[in-house]
Structure 1
Amino acid sequence: MKNWLRQRSRWIKGYMQAYLVHMRNPVEDFRKGRLYDLFTYQVVIGSGTAVLFINPLMWVLLGIYTAFGRSVINIYHILFPWPILYLGAFCLIFGNFFYVYLYLLACMRRKQYHLLLWTLFIPVYWLLMSTAAFYALFELLVKPHYWQKTVHGLHLKGKRTSSGHDISPGHINPACACNFT
């Protein structure tokens, strides 16, 4: 798990760093008429990274509302105008449900029935991705030029090629024939 978090935080840190570099002067893109480029960059890189920070915040706000009910609704209405509040809650609940539903459909369509139960854990995956994002943000602020190292090939542990060569992490010889048994 540690290795996975390091890898994801490195990727997310790269996205955040690329976003900051490319958004140094968005007015120039606007002036040069590159609105499409500016918009797509926001949607693909900007929002993809922002969601990792917003999703856990929205779940916490929903949890507080569920736990304390009416006593916090006035505070929520001060923080968010009511259309935003209810549209946000709707998108959070049904959006997450819709994604899980799509994953279930994909498993059914591809006849990957053994994966059906795992699709219910997609919100846990998103929580882990958010954890990696917060770690990446911390590293971007504190150690912007440091990149986490990760061990690759952990899924190959104990496997050998058809010629008997060990392909466990740290033992992979690029010149060997990699016909897995």
Structure 2
Amino acid sequence: MFGLAAAWWADADLTLVLIIFAIQIGFLLSAGWRAMLLAASLPGIDRPLPSSDLPRYTVLVALFDEAEVLPQLVERLSQIDYPEDRLEGFLILEVDDHETLSAAHDLCFPPWLSVLVAPAGQPRTKPRALNVGLAQARGELLTVYDAEDDPDPLQLREAAARFANDQEGDLWALQAPLRIRTPLRSDSPFLDRQFAIEYASLFEVTLPGLARLGLPFPMGGTSNHFRVDALRAVGGWDAHNVTEDADLGFRLWRAGGRLGVMSRPTYEPPPGGLEHWLPQRTRWLKGFMQTWGVHTRDVRGLGWRGGLSLTMTLGAAIAAAAVHALSLAWLIATLAIALAAGLVPETPLFAMTVLATGAIAASVNAAIGCRRASLPYTLGDLLSAPAYWSLLTLAFLHAVWRLVREPFAWDKTVHFADPTAEVAAASAPAGREAA
């Protein structure tokens, strides 16, 4: 930072040119990275043969202020297709969350599911609650779900089969695809659509590509499946990291583990309007910065492959969020000034190549991801994507401020119960199998 300030003081014009050139090179590298991951993910994900000897499985769900969605969650967890005598689950509630505790008391749980009250303590975060559950887990395998999740009933069986087929024993974690189920009626259709497309690109293209290349990746915050002994060996989740899932993927890699992906999805609703989307994305970017800072203290444990993956996933996400709005504003300003002056806008070949390459890579990945997730992808989605990307810059600025002022504060996403008719229509067996 001081070097950049000194260069700007010495020659501001040259420094600006070099910064713009560096950003353009970064966009090109990111486009090439996307193309490589798309190619690596093309063979698809095969479903393993079911295992007859099913291990004991633990299901953890950390909840806070979720009384409204708790009945829906219990109903969905009850549909898990796994032998009850080999299944245990804990709904981990905070000791002072009286409303959710009361709602849980009024519900009828399946025999394998129970409430676990986390003792008072700090930090008040999801990973701290999960560590409380991990201490009680008796399963050989463990999965994490969120309050709003609707997992495929056969997801645990697929994960058990994949772990059983791992001859080397170094497959320590699996990530199921997360698919956004957009509501039929929404006050934020633009954010809902772009959020669903973003998830489709990440979970249907990027993560499968990274897994096939044998690289570590930031895991999603839900529908992770672990070997319990490996999870305990690395100390569980970092209670102070607000994207504990992203951090854990790289910590498992450092310890000698390998990450994989699955085919059976978990469905989720989008966060909703800007008042819900922005705090969630702020927390994600703040956690990415935390994870980046932790793992770049000593990159030797990552190796060059792990370092590359860390840079091109978390590092690129942070950098892209920082410059998206500035890049779009620069492009619009250049065109507006030229048109106002009655001039033909300048179109430098290299800059246009960068713009076209980045747009093509992003749109192709999004289109392939949406196809795999059984989502439509239209020209309108493509053209409106830059506006969505620009909102990431707002979240980035907010994340930097929150990282400085409240580094461990958890910006919780508000969840609402799904309308019954929409859930029934979207959860029909034919729809699940088609996905």
Question: If the TM-score is normalised by the length of the shorter chain, which range does it land in?
Answer: 0.5 to 0.7
Q: Which residue of 2 aligns with 1:35?
A: 304
Identity %: 26
Residue 6 of structure 1 aligns to which amino acid in structure 2? P
Q: For the structure 1 residues 103 and 145, does the alpha-carbon distance in structure 2 shift closer, same or farther, using more than 3 Å as the test?
A: closer
Per the TM alignment, residue 107 of structure 1 is displaced from its structure 2 partner at its CA by 5.6
Aligned 8 A contact 1:53 1:130 in 2:
yes
State the distance in 1 between where 2:364 and 2:302 align.
39
Pick the structure with more strand per residue.
2
1:141 maps onto 2:433 in alignment: no
Structure 1: gaps (5+ residues): 70-84, 163-178
Q: For the structure 1 residues 132 and 94, does the alpha-carbon distance in structure 2 shift closer, same or farther, using more than 3 Å as the test?
A: same
1:8 maps onto 2:281 in alignment: yes
Among 49, 54, 57, the alignment partner of 2:323 is 54
State the distance in 1 between where 2:311 and 2:318 align.
10
Q: Which residue of 2 aligns with 1:67?
A: 336
Q: Which residue of 2 aligns with 1:126?
A: 389
Select between 53-62 and 15-24 the one with higher mean Cα deviation: 53-62
Query: Given the two structures, how large is their TM-score scaled by the length of structure 2?
Result: 0.28
Per the TM alignment, residue 20 of structure 1 is displaced from its structure 2 partner at its CA by 0.9
Among 269, 283, 295, the alignment partner of 1:22 is 295
Q: For the structure 1 residues 138 and 100, does the alpha-carbon distance in structure 2 shift closer, same or farther, using more than 3 Å as the test?
A: same
Aligned 8 A contact 2:324 2:392 in 1:
no
Among 326, 341, 350, the alignment partner of 1:87 is 350
Q: For the structure 1 residues 25 and 150, does the alpha-carbon distance in structure 2 shift closer, same or farther, using more than 3 Å as the test?
A: same
Q: For the structure 1 residues 147 and 111, does the alpha-carbon distance in structure 2 shift closer, same or farther, using more than 3 Å as the test?
A: closer
Per the TM alignment, residue 105 of structure 1 is displaced from its structure 2 partner at its CA by 6.4
State the distance in 2 between where 1:92 and 1:107 align.
22
Q: Secondary structure at the match of 1:120?
A: helix
Q: Which residue of 1 aligns with 2:217?
A: none
Cα root mean square deviation, aligned: 3.5
1:44 maps onto 2:337 in alignment: no
State the distance in 2 between where 1:24 and 1:128 align.
30
1:159 maps onto 2:432 in alignment: no
State the distance in 2 between where 1:108 and 1:22 align.
34
State the distance in 2 between where 1:150 and 1:58 align.
29
Per the TM alignment, residue 96 of structure 1 is displaced from its structure 2 partner at its CA by 2.0
Deviation per CA, 1:105-161: give whole Å up to 9, x if none. Answer: 666798855x42334322222122232222112211222121212212x361x437x
State the distance in 2 between where 1:111 and 1:11 align.
26
Query: Given the two structures, how large is their TM-score scaled by the length of structure 1?
Result: 0.61
State the distance in 2 between where 1:3 and 1:109 align.
27
State the distance in 2 between where 1:108 and 1:8 align.
25
Q: For the structure 1 residues 107 and 45, does the alpha-carbon distance in structure 2 shift closer, same or farther, using more than 3 Å as the test?
A: closer
Higher relative contact order (CA 8 A, sep 6+): 1
State the distance in 1 between where 2:296 and 2:303 align.
13
Residue 329 of structure 2 aligns to which amino acid in structure 1? V
Residue 322 of structure 2 aligns to which amino acid in structure 1? F
Structure 2: gaps (5+ residues): 1-272, 339-347, 429-435
Q: For the structure 1 residues 110 and 142, does the alpha-carbon distance in structure 2 shift closer, same or farther, using more than 3 Å as the test?
A: closer
Residue 126 of structure 1 aligns to which amino acid in structure 2? W
Per the TM alignment, residue 4 of structure 1 is displaced from its structure 2 partner at its CA by 1.4
Q: Secondary structure at the match of 1:96?
A: helix
State the distance in 2 between where 1:8 and 1:41 align.
19
Q: Secondary structure at the match of 1:24?
A: coil
State the distance in 2 between where 1:103 and 1:12 align.
21
Q: Which residue of 2 aligns with 1:173?
A: none
Q: For the structure 1 residues 146 and 39, does the alpha-carbon distance in structure 2 shift closer, same or farther, using more than 3 Å as the test?
A: same
Per the TM alignment, residue 51 of structure 1 is displaced from its structure 2 partner at its CA by 1.0
| Count, aligned residues | 142
State the distance in 2 between where 1:57 and 1:47 align.
16
